[in-house]
């Protein structure tokens, strides 16, 4: 089978669902990462310290955690496509409004409201893709969806490199409202998953699902009696409760590492050497970031293929262990050419593992609570990780970026250890 033959094995509806979720995730990354890329300019104009800038990033992640949990529940209740459209509209609108802010408080409000939409997109899109694709190709499909984040981040770097020197950071944020247009196509061209529609019809008729959760012996009987936010209780019933706790903890560690790194990489590269940075110009910095996104894209896509071939667990642990070594090294080195060469490898291992998270949680939980489970385990983990931008920013100010990035490496190592208690799910059909 050639590299892309799996795409032709999907139905037209499955391919459209993947395109919609990937576009939503790509544009989510585009809007969210604009902040990281223009952070030095925002800090200067609005008189924001490193610690305050880190706090802004943390507030957005806390909001994203709440948004992810809420939209996960809404996607189970009202459908994946409706939740997807709502999240895209929210993060687009408040990115655009950020261009009008004049002080840190207004900026913070926009970051919080943007975060709600950012958190909601992933849970909705991952459920939609998981339910449209077979077990054989689910990892590849979710890998392609996840890889769109790198495309969005890279696109943001290009836009910032071109627009920032001409019209400043406000013009950059104004462009961020454009992703809202994607919702017009999603509404007309993307079908709701048959699996969700049948489950929703069953709940409406009062019937219960007897699907087994992750071969743990826990059944989804009673899920229909707890529709809405009560469905969260189903994630903590019987043996699956331990899995829910460990997966959430593992995700908190990986998200801490991811946001601690990616929120501060642009600032690390562009801040003057006297402030602990490398001292690159904005245009050179964005080219470094773009190169990292190439590595990130390959990391996401490669994970999907390897995960489908050898399993989620072995692939996940390999990526996390490599990231735990490379991230501290990146913060220690100072030579621009070395950082340029190392950056794609840091991004490959430090981000690619997220292609496996959607498949893992889809295969652990039944349709009736899948969106809730994905939103909860991903975004409750984000609550813990919300401290990362502030912690890294504070450590960078007091001890330098080498020490700050070493903390992110430790978070990845802890996540790898947590996989001892997470079951392998490769090849499981969704229930």
Query: Mind listing the pLDDT tens digit for each residue in 155-166?
Result: 888 888 889 888
Give me the torsion for CA of 208, 211, 217, 219, rounded to 10°: -20
Give 285-301 as a 3 state SS string. Answer: HHHHHHHHHHHHHHHHH
Average pLDDT over residues 265-292: 87
Task: Check residues 280 and 230 and name the one with the higher pLDDT.
Answer: 280
Residue percentage of the chain with pLDDT more than 90: 28
In this prediction, residue 216 has a pLDDT band, given cuts at 50, 70 and 90, of very low
pTM: 0.74
pLDDT band at 365 (very low <50, low <70, confident <90, very high): confident
| Residues 125 and 133: beta-carbon distance below 8 Å | no
What's the rounded mean pLDDT across residues 56-74? 84
Residue 29 in this model has a pLDDT that exceeds 90: no
Q: Are 179 and 30 in contact (CB under 8 A)?
A: yes
pLDDT at 346 over 60: yes
CA 422 vs CA 11, 254, 315, 316: distances in Å: 31, 15, 13, 11
Average pLDDT value over all residues in the chain: 84
The pLDDT, as a whole number, for residue 368 is 78
pLDDT of residue 230: 66
Kindly state the percentage of the chain with pLDDT values over 70.
93
Per-residue pLDDT reduced to its tens digit, 138-154: 888 988 898 888 888 88
- Mean pLDDT confidence for 289-311: 90
Rounded to whole angstroms, the Cα distance separating 254 from 273 reads: 29
- In whole angstroms, give the CA distance from residue 192 to residue 405: 41
Residues 353 and 146: their CA atoms lie apart, in Å, by 10
SS3 227: coil
Our separate counts of H helices and E strands in the chain read 17, 2
- What's the mean pLDDT in 4-9? 84
Say if domain 12-191+208-421 classifies as CATH 1.20.1560.10: no
Contact indicator for 213, 366 with CB cutoff of 8 Å: yes
Domain map (residue ranges) of the chain = 12-191+208-421
User: Is residue 384's pLDDT more than 80?
Assistant: no
């Amino acid at each position: 089978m050639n590299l892309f033959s799996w795409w032709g094995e999907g139905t037209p509806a499955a391919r459209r669902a993947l395109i919609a979720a990937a576009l939503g995730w790509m544009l989510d990354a585009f809007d969210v990462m604009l902040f990281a890329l223009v952070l030095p300019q925002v800090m200067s104009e609005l008189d924001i310290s490193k610690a305050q800038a880190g706090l802004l990033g943390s507030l957005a992640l806390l909001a994203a955690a709440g948004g992810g949990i809420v939209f996960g529940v809404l996607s189970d209740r009202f459908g994946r496509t409706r939740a997807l459209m709502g999240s895209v509209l929210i993060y687009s609108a408040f990115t655009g409004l950020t261009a009008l802010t004049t002080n840190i408080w207004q900026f913070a409000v926009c970051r919080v409201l943007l975060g709600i939409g950012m958190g909601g997109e992933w849970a909705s899109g991952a459920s939609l893709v998981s339910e449209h694709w077979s077990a054989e190709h689910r990892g590849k499909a979710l890998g392609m969806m996840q890889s769109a984040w790198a495309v969005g981040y890279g696109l943001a770097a290009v836009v910032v490199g071109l627009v920032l020197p001409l019209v400043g950071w406000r013009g950059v944020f104004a462009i961020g409202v454009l992703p809202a247009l994607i919702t017009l196509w999603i509404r007309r061209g993307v079908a709701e998953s048959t699996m969700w529609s049948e489950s929703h019809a069953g709940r409406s008729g009062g019937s219960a699902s007897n699907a087994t959760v992750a071969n743990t012996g826990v059944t989804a009987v009673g899920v229909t009696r707890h529709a809405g936010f009560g469905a969260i209780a189903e994630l903590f019933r019987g043996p699956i409760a331990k899995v829910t706790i460990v997966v959430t903890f593992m995700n908190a560690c990986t998200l801490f590492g991811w946001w601690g790194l990616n929120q501060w990489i642009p600032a690390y590269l562009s801040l003057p050497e006297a402030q602990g940075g490398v001292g690159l110009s904005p245009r050179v910095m964005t080219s470094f970031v773009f190169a990292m996104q190439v590595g990130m894209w390959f990391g996401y896509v490669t994970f999907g293929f390897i995960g489908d071939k050898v399993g989620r667990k072995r692939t996940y642990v390999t990526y996390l262990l490599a990231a735990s070594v490379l991230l501290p090294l990146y913060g220690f080195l100072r030579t621009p050419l070395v950082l340029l060469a190392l950056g794609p490898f840091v991004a490959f291992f430090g981000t690619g593992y997220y292609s496996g998270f959607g498949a893992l949680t889809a295969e652990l939980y039944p349709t009736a609570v899948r969106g809730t489970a994905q939103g909860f385990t991903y975004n409750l983990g984000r609550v813990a990780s919300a401290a990362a931008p502030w912690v890294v920013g504070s450590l960078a100010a007091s001890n330098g970026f080498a020490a700050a990035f070493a903390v992110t490496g430790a978070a990845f190592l802890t996540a790898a250890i947590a996989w001892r208690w997470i079951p392998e799910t490769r090849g499981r059909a969704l229930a």
